[in-house]
Amino acid sequence: MNPTITAFKASPDRGRGLARDMRVRWALEEVGQPYDVRLVTFEEMKQPAHLALSPFGQIPTYEDGDLALFESGSIVFHIAQRHAALLPQDAAGRARAVTWMFAALSTVEPPLVERGMAGLLERDKPWFEQRQPMLEERARKVLRELSARLGEAEWLEGAFTAGDLMMAGVLFRSKPSGILNEFPNLAAYVARAEARPAFQRAFAAQLAVFQAASAAEGT
Ligand code: GTB
């Protein structure tokens, strides 16, 4: 039996691969693990059956036999642990790769998401003009620091790891806003990640969901 993940039935990103099922699909593709996808509506995500999998009523989730996981970071880590392709064999190398996964999720992603969400949801609020410079600076600060660390390296720790998958996955979501172009080495890093065949397969699979839904609607 293949593991089953969940993804949006109708992703608000209209097939741009910005939702967090993308990183789970990508990890599964990197390790060559076939998987099934159960598409859920926003309404279904808040029903007891889905809440039993994801207490916060979100995608992605992951089910494999008796094991049910939520949180994209935990799911990618689980996949990486079960297959050799995404984590180095030596303990120190594994620890560094896992450190970059945490850095992506707990240090880099929050300021990027907060900046993006404010731009989407708070433009008409009275506090927007005052708050936005602070959010812009917080986002640029982590990007500046990450850019300085990456330098001209291809990946964060030599060979591509789950740490790069998570970091590039996080940065990818900020690409449409244009902010990555201010850091050419980060833009090139994300482009390298996007060029990986596993990324391409994952992207095509999530895009196919949007295309099928559009075709069914006749849009
Ligand atoms: N910490 C969790 C994880 O990493 O798995 C966060 C999961 C999460 O945020 N899931 C979102 C969700 O289910 C989808 S990815 N939201 C529904 C809800 O909370 O009710 C976030 C997302 C959504 C849409 C876009 N987009 O349209 O561009 C991008 C990212």
Q: How many domains does the chain have?
A: 2
- Claim to verify: residue 184 and residue 116 sit in the same structural domain: yes
Give the distance (Å) from ligand 1 centre to CA of residue 10: 12
| 213 and 184 assigned to the same domain | no
Question: Pocket of ligand 1, candidates 6, 11, 20, 40: which has the most ligand atoms within 8 Å of its Cβ, to mutate?
Answer: 20
What are the pLDDT digits (tens) for 15-64?
A: 999 999 999 999 999 999 999 999 999 999 999 999 999 999 999 999 99
Q: What is the pLDDT of residue 217?
A: 86
Q: Is the pTM of this model over 0.85?
A: yes
- Are 50 and 138 members of one domain? no
**Could you tell me the CATH number of the domain that includes residue 168?**
1.20.1050.10
How does pLDDT run across 163-195, given as a tens digit for each residue? 999 999 999 999 999 999 999 999 999 999 999
Ligand 1 atom with least separation from CA of 13? 27
Residues 25 and 124 in one domain: no
Same domain for 177 and 112, yes or no, is: yes
Indicate if 25 and 51 belong to the same structural domain: yes
Label residue 219 by pLDDT band (50, 70, 90).
Answer: low
Please check whether residues 164 and 125 belong to one and the same domain: yes
Give the tens place of pLDDT for each residue, 89-131: 999 999 999 999 999 999 999 999 999 999 899 999 999 999 9
Smallest CA separation from ligand 1 atom 20, residue: 58
Mind spelling out the 3-state secondary structure of the chain?
A: CCCEEEEECCCCCCCCCCCCHHHHHHHHHHHCCCCEEEEECHHHHCCHHHHCCCCCCCCCEEEECCEEEECHHHHHHHHHHHCHHHCCCCHHHHHHHHHHHHHHHHHHHHHHHHHHHHHHHCCCCCCHHHHHHHHHHHHHHHHHHHHHHHCCCCCCCCCCCHHHHHHHHHHHHHHHHCHHHHCHHHHHHHHHHHCCHHHHHHHHHHHHHHHHHHHHHCC
pLDDT band at residue 132, thresholds of 50, 70 and 90?
very high
- Looking at every residue in the chain, the average pLDDT score rounds to 97
Q: At what angle do helices 197-217 and 21-31 cross, to 10 degrees?
A: 130
Q: Are residues 70 and 119 in the same domain?
A: no
Residue 13 Cβ inside 6 Å of ligand 1? The answer reads yes
Distance 92 CA to ligand 1 centre (A): 32
CATH of the domain at 9: 3.40.30.10
Residue 218: per-residue pLDDT: 82
Rg, C-alpha atoms of the chain: 18
Ligand 1 pocket member 19 (CB < 6 A): yes
Q: Do 11 and 34 belong to one domain?
A: yes
Q: What domain range is 29 assigned to?
A: 4-85+198-218
99 and 189 part of one domain: yes
Is the beta carbon of 110 within 6 A of some atom in ligand 1? no
Whether residue 157 has its Cβ less than 6 Å from ligand 1: no
Are residue 127 and residue 66 in the same domain, yes or no?
no
Closest ligand 1 atom, residue 20 Cα: 15
**CA–centroid distance for 54 within its chain:** 17
Whether the CB of 101 sits within 6 Å of ligand 1:
no
Cα 184–chain centre separation = 20
If asked whether residues 128 and 206 sit together in one domain, one would say no
